[in-house]
Amino acid sequence: MAELIDRLHVNLTHLPAATAYWVAYSGGMDSHVLLHAMAALARGGRCTSVRAIHVNHQLSLNAQRWADHCVRRCAELGVACRVEAVDATPRGGESREAAARHARYAALTQILDEGEAVLTAQHLQDQAETLLLQLIRGAGVRGLSAMGAVRPLGSGWLGRPLLGEARSELHRYARMHALDWIDDPTNFDTSLERNFIRHEVLPVLEQRRPAVCRALSRSAQHLAEAGELLDELARSDLATTRGTRPGTLSISALHRLTPARQRNVLRTWLDEHSVRMPDRRRLLRIQQEVIPARADATPVVAWGAVQVRRHRDDLHVLTGSHVEPEPRTYPWPHLNQPLPLPQKGMQLRVVTAAPGEAGIDPVWLATQSISVRFRHGGERCRLQAGGVARTLKKLLQEWDVPSWERSSIPLIYAGDTLVAVAGHCICAGSAPALGVGGVRVEVERLEGEFGR
């Protein structure tokens, strides 16, 4: 079957250049064919060095036997084989298949040096199965694009050079070269959706239309092009709908878009924030409840640990577990050392105020019992000596602080007296005497805080 090898060689020339190829080798027929053909190309000097990576998911009693089988077959082909054992235990409602896939791709990502590529053996039937599976799940254009021939992965990229090959061609190649492969019994379990499509649905469709897999693959390519156009439109719309705060969108600018373009730009914006995509129902709620709400309203649409809110004319996405802080006191006995508040996603430190900047008298501060608290209502601060003490609620509104951020602002107390609102103001009575340098409290955000 020199023809398959020749087609593989041509397909490789359409992919980015690679300093080395790693074949993702499960031991099954498809990946064995790819490995065997790549080894032949390497021996003939038609491609760069080839290695194999076998991911042991440790889910089957046969897992170690399969890993040993892969090592032996690679030795016969003169190909170096690396075995990576992973923990593929499902977590947080994750399916067994999804957990295995995530663990597998994490392992593949870690092995790649810059410029290297992982090749996987998905073929024409796999592409058709993926498209049908996504249709059943009600996927949008991007999901229906199925699998691309190439995509970035870690420091290199992942390629699928057999996507245009029928399974029958791979099977013919395997028989001709007397390849010895593994049949995983779980691949025949039709209680799994993909296996049901593979063994029960596609054969019926192929009896009616023998070229159905090629036709479905062609549809996936059309949808991939449509997805690229939607991405281009979304990037253009994002440039004109950025909000006043970093990472936000302008409500008024969104109003100028059609509903379909709003949804398109919202998906791309959420993808920028690396959050899990909402279902269509929640996306529509963002359009119907958050975007048209009054500027002083506080609507929220949430899914998992993600929230979309509005403040004034800005649309915000927040991630993390947003809970109201307990009315708790955090002593700060050593002001020369930072005060870590990891449960609040921050740490505080005392720094010298800049010239002309309001500050607290450091000598006076050192004599006080200093603590940190968070809002629970009723706090007051006098901004000027002899002025009226104003409620912190009104001050935060004037400072245009979003409602969900107000309960996370550190309040600095000396005994039971509020002396500073970190990042915002110094309360009168704690300022230094004329000519004496003051200090202020600086807030440092820690990774993983409930961000904008």
**For the residues of 170-189, what is the DSSP string, one character each?**
HHHHHHHTT------GGGG-
In a domain, 233, yes or no: no
pLDDT tens track for 132-191: 999 998 888 988 988 999 999 999 999 999 999 999 999 999 999 999 999 999 899 999
For the beta sheet containing 21-24, the strands, ordered from the edge strand earlier in sequence to the opposite edge, are 80-85, 50-56, 21-24, 117-119, 156-159, 150-153
Give the residue, 34 or 95, on which the prediction is more confident: 34
Q: Which residue range is the domain that position 32 belongs to?
A: 1-223
Tell me how far apart the terminal alpha carbons of the chain are, to the nearest angstrom.
Answer: 56
| Residue at which a domain ends, from 266, 292, 319 | 319
- What CA–CA distances, in Å, run from 343 to 263, 318, 340? 34, 17, 9
On whether both 365 and 403 belong to a single domain, the answer is: yes
Task: Give the separation between CA 28 and CA 351, rounded to whole angstroms.
Answer: 62
**pLDDT for the residue 291:** 94
Contact 226, 141 (CB under 8 A): yes
pLDDT tens track for 254-299: 999 999 999 999 999 999 998 989 999 999 999 999 999 987 778 8
Report the interhelical angle of 167-176 vs 29-43 (nearest 10°). Answer: 60
Give percent of the chain with pLDDT exceeding 90. 61
**pLDDT for the residue 436:** 57
Task: Give the separation between CA 304 and CA 307, rounded to whole angstroms.
Answer: 8
pLDDT tens track for 387-444: 788 899 899 888 888 878 888 889 999 888 898 999 888 887 665 544 457 888 988 8
Q: How many domains does the chain have?
A: 3
In a domain, 228, yes or no: no
| Residue at which a domain ends, from 161, 189, 223 | 223
| Residue at which a domain ends, from 195, 223, 251 | 223
Task: Give the separation between CA 205 and CA 208, rounded to whole angstroms.
Answer: 5
How many residues are listed for the chain in this entry?
452
> How far does Cα 273 stand from its chain's mean position?
8
Contact 266, 257 (CB under 8 A): no
On whether both 19 and 149 belong to a single domain, the answer is: yes
On whether both 166 and 44 belong to a single domain, the answer is: yes
The reply to whether the predicted model has a pTM over 0.75 is no
On whether both 291 and 385 belong to a single domain, the answer is: no
Tokens of 273: 């924030």
Tokens of 311: 């403040």
